[in-house]
Amino acid sequence: MLPLMKQAPKPHLFSMSLEELRQWLADRNLARFGADQIYNWLYKNWTTDPILWTNVAKKTREAMLAELDLEVPKVVWQGLSRDGTRKFLVRMLDGKTVETVAIAAEDRLTLCISSQVGCAIGCTFCHTGTMGLTRNLSAGEIVGQFVAVTQWLKTNVNHEARLSNIVYMGQGEPLHNFDEVKKSAIVFLEEKGIALSQRKVTLSTSGLVPQIKKLWDFPPVNIAISLHAAHNDVRTELMPINKAFDLDRLFEAIRTIPLKARRRITYEYILIAGLNDRQEDIDGLLKLLDLETSKVNIIPFNEYPESKFKRPSDTHIRWFQKQLLDQGHTCTVRITKGDDILAACGQLKSKEDALNLWN
């Protein structure tokens, strides 16, 4: 007896750009303008049930229900930090979970979004790196995190809540999943949909050189490079990817990134006591970084269970920053948020038993 053919998964509505949705409708002899109406329902009204799309033709809704996946990933747990940060455990349709973090500030609400289940890079300072990689997320699952968290916030916190910024800095290496992350960015930037500004979307990478050289084909969002060391021996200890793409190759690739006028590349630098916080590390950074096109974001190390590294003192963090400022570099220190619920940078790690971690 022949084995049954496995049915191909339906394409997800959230994966489709506005133009792709227009073409999908046209291919079925349905009105193209229906795509604009649907985008308005999805990303302006946050209404994902087609039954409620009262101005969308019945035939269009029936076709979508039959041929597209319209399910929203589910928020199965959320934790609130003392500083207002919220961490969400979001479950995909296959049961896999990722963590997504909403970070509140006076003038914005930023979603730190995941691009993979786990991560293959294996950075030794990162909790996610201990998971290994399970799979990539689809564009629909990436956008779905945004939709799920927005709906949760509007229902449970404030019906006027609006996520204003996105950073691709959750679980996973975004450039390992280049095509799906690119598709999700196109959806986030669409003016008739979520309509985020290019300046309010930041793509972070650990330094995948071949993919960095493809950024000319990516929407012109902010770029952040996870640098974390100014010398190859230290960077290799922290980031095994440096064995394949050392600092020389990394900066050669960075120079190919197209920058708009007055744009800079952010270099993220996790500061770890006794390892990359010395005068020689400052000297190395000054040699590596171009004054006009770079800014440094110091991230004091966020400790987590079983981590072997330590956070420097606040006094030492300020000293490190001052050395760069005194040489004319733009240098900020990231305010730690959400560390009490393991939601800070480098602390994310979703597990099958994650629901039990906080009970």
Longest alpha-carbon distance in the chain: 75
How does residue 343 score in pLDDT terms, banded at 50, 70 and 90?
A: very low
What's residue 307's pLDDT? 80
> What's the rounded Cα separation, in Å, for the pair 171 and 112?
9
What's residue 7's pLDDT? 59
- Specify the DSSP class assigned to residue 252: H
| Rounded-to-10 torsion of CA 23, 147, 72, 148 | 180
- At residue 346, does pLDDT exceed 70? no
Domain that holds residue 280: 74-354
Domain end: 40, 67, 94, which one? 67
CATH number of domain containing 56: 1.10.150.530
pLDDT in tens, 281-300: 999 999 999 988 999 999 99
Residues 53 and 84 in one domain: no
Tokens for 294, please give them: 């770079």
Q: For residue 16, give the nearest of 2, 36, 31 by alpha carbon.
A: 36
The total of structural domains in the chain comes to 2
Q: Which helix (H) or strand (E) holds 80?
A: strand 74-80
How does residue 8 score in pLDDT terms, banded at 50, 70 and 90?
A: low
Mean pLDDT of the chain: 91
Residues 93 and 197 in one domain: yes
7 within a domain of the structure (yes/no): no
Q: For residue 206, give the nearest of 140, 306, 133 by alpha carbon.
A: 133
Q: Are the C-beta atoms of residues 72 and 87 closer than 8 Å to each other?
A: no
Q: For residue 202, give the nearest of 227, 183, 185 by alpha carbon.
A: 185
Residue 321 neighbours by CB under 8 Å, 6+ apart: 298, 331, 332, 333
Q: Which helix (H) or strand (E) holds 253?
A: helix 247-254
* Residues involved in catalysis: 99, 345
3 within a domain of the structure (yes/no): no
Residues 217 and 294 in one domain: yes
Residues 290 and 328 in one domain: yes
> What's the rounded Cα separation, in Å, for the pair 181 and 171?
13
99 within a domain of the structure (yes/no): yes
What's residue 261's pLDDT? 74
pLDDT in tens, 10-68: 999 999 999 999 999 999 999 999 999 999 999 999 999 999 999 999 999 999 999 99
Residues 114 and 199 in one domain: yes
Residues 38 and 96 in one domain: no
- At residue 356, does pLDDT exceed 80? no
Tokens for 321, please give them: 């920053």
311 within a domain of the structure (yes/no): yes
Helix (H, G, I), strand (E, B) or coil at 153: helix
What's residue 129's pLDDT? 67
Residue 231 neighbours by CB under 8 Å, 6+ apart: 247, 280, 281, 284
CATH number of domain containing 327: 3.20.20.70
Residue type, 294: S
pLDDT in tens, 243-279: 999 999 999 999 999 988 778 999 999 999 999 999 9
| Number of residues that this document lists for the chain | 359
Residues 105 and 18 in one domain: no
The three-point CA angle 198-194-145 to 5° equals 100
Other Cβ atoms less than 10 A from the Cβ of 2: the count is 4
What's residue 2's pLDDT? 46
98 within a domain of the structure (yes/no): yes
Residue 56 neighbours by CB under 8 Å, 6+ apart: 34, 37, 38, 41, 50
pLDDT in tens, 145-177: 999 999 999 999 998 889 999 999 999 999 999
Q: For residue 203, give the nearest of 164, 243, 174 by alpha carbon.
A: 174
Residues 166 and 48 in one domain: no
Residues 349 and 323 in one domain: yes
201 within a domain of the structure (yes/no): yes
Residues 132 and 80 in one domain: yes
Q: Which helix (H) or strand (E) holds 270?
A: strand 265-271
Residues 189 and 312 in one domain: yes
Residues 183 and 263 in one domain: yes
Domain end: 29, 50, 67, which one? 67
pLDDT in tens, 65-114: 999 999 999 999 999 988 889 999 999 999 999 999 999 988 899 999 99
- At residue 137, does pLDDT exceed 80? yes
262 within a domain of the structure (yes/no): yes
Domain end: 49, 67, 85, which one? 67
106 within a domain of the structure (yes/no): yes
* Mutual angle of helices 58-67 and 34-43, in 10-degree steps: 70
- At residue 180, does pLDDT exceed 90? yes
